[in-house]
């Protein structure tokens, strides 16, 4: 989705990828809070995905492909599907599950830190431009 935002292909979104904020949690935190979740071994919209709902099944995912931080034109369709594995939480993720926020640049970080402080939240805001397309 971020790639589509970067290319201007999401007609409903008029902003830029710099305005996108990553909300960071973890499977362990989601489970600890007793939230209902499931995850897929590839993009969740695909009919041939496998769905799981036990953390021990995270071992079935292709972590080498998922963690690969490059998108190559020579990626096969299968590799693209696997890279897009999803972890989905039912209905909503409460603030207690959020472990931090990632932003693109210092300007956005300043804005987000101010909002976090105004909401009296103790969330770390980290700048990671490498998480975005350039």
**15/31 Cα distance (integer angstroms):** 33
More confidently predicted of 75 and 40 = 40
The overall average pLDDT reported for the chain is 92
pLDDT at residue number 78: 83
pLDDT of residue 63: 96
Top pLDDT among 92 and 7 is at 92
pLDDT digits (tens, 9 = 90+) for 45-96: 999 999 999 999 999 999 999 988 776 666 677 888 998 999 999 999 999 9
Q: Strand 125-127 relative to strand 100-103: parallel, antiparallel, unpaired? A: parallel
């Amino acid at each position: 989705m971020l790639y589509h935002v970067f290319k201007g292909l999401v007609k409903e979104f008029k902003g830029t990828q710099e305005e996108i904020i990553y909300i960071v949690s973890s499977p362990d935190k989601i489970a600890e809070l007793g939230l209902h979740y499931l995850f897929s071994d590839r993009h969740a919209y695909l009919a041939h995905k496998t769905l799981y709902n036990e953390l021990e099944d995270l071992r079935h995912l292709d972590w080498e492909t998922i963690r690969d931080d490059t998108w190559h034109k020579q990626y096969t369709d299968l590799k693209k599907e696997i890279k897009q594995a999803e972890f989905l939480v039912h209905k909503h993720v409460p603030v207690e599950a959020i472990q931090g926020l990632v932003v693109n640049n210092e300007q956005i970080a300043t804005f987000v830190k101010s909002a976090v402080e105004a909401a009296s939240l103790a969330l770390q805001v980290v700048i990671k431009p490498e998480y975005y397309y350039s």
